[in-house]
Structure 1
């Protein structure tokens, strides 16, 4: 099986390394990875056939070309070049694993996760960099779709006349809709995480904490009533219904709560109607 790290550890000239890579070229084709070797001048001195196919090029179209100018999106070139220079200068620990997009011949961007390894001569001087890349575009697309889906329903919550909050998978609140913020008269950064608790009546905090932590641990819906201070400084009774929610990947993502002001329903009537 191909072991780039073992090959890279065998010190010698860059040409010797390339010859070794060419001898075992056929073994690369059973591994769905892009393997590219750059010299300190940033030129492609080796790329496997599978890598050529991923990029949509023929081998002769890539050999000797400047990797960053040809295969890295222009907006990323400066940053990726800077990382390469650090690798050549011996700064390996920080950038041994790195992610960035590459550009195919058809100008399609693909997201790759890279493992970078130094090639050294017999004196220990870095004479090249071998990078092994895995195409993770599909996983990145899934992440982006999940983020868009999340942002979409949060936008829907903004238009609702009830108070809504969202807690992340750690139980910390990271979203309050505009109705909530209008009710409390505070900003999102004031309420975030546990900041919103300053508005809860002290006598209700212990019972609420018990309901929330128990339900959160069990991933179970819960209902609870408590008093929350509004923008006028008055305590209003809220009835809260909360439920766990899961992302499109079915991974637990946190809780969503909906609160309704039920103050009037809890005030005892002062005038009872007498039977006629």
Structure 2
């Protein structure tokens, strides 16, 4: 089962960086989301691929035409309203942020929002209360778990990267964790983000074949934008992770979606026998 997701963000929506942290700062940057989304639409059309789009509420509020176009053909989920790490918010701030994004997306598209992904996969074990909040807000499917240690989150006790049921209090959430692979003592997401751009395609293809039982991929519009400016003041390691491999990324993604058949969360959810899924009690 191969599932394709996109996190709909602008090129400057970098997490944990002082110069790109707030909405006030975002207004100072060049707008590139229109051309980047058009690129994604072409790729999906050319490869006849379905996908789920996790949209930042700020994007929907600022550029509603983009989100309406997504909703014409694809499934939409919430990526919060203001793209902040979960563990940098209080429970009430998180609730308000997600609630506002869900309501805005639903009002804009006329479609129910059932899926959610936290920025940076930032629901950690210490933020398990977030699952109860998501449940209260009508979220049925979550994609926020990184099932290992991770810079922005990490949920090592989750175990194997596979769909499972997370229960916390009265909450019951279907979890689709991000796929990752151990390499050199660290866990990496080779089918999305910087590592997808960094690794040669033949290696990505080999790993994807090994992970054919469950593969959840995620891409940002900026991952395919070779012409984007560089954020000033980033440390060398962050520049490398954010900008390496941009020129060849679109070609690589097209090849990936041609060699493997991907679907969206809605279809994946429909074919899984959840009565046999592992249950994780928090």
Category of TM-score, reference length = shorter chain: under 0.3
Q: Which has the higher strand share?
A: 1
Q: Normalising to structure 1: TM-score of the pair?
A: 0.27
Between structure 1 and structure 2, the one with the greater Rg is 1
**Higher share of residues assigned helix:** 2
Give the TM-score of the pair, scaled to structure 2.
Answer: 0.26
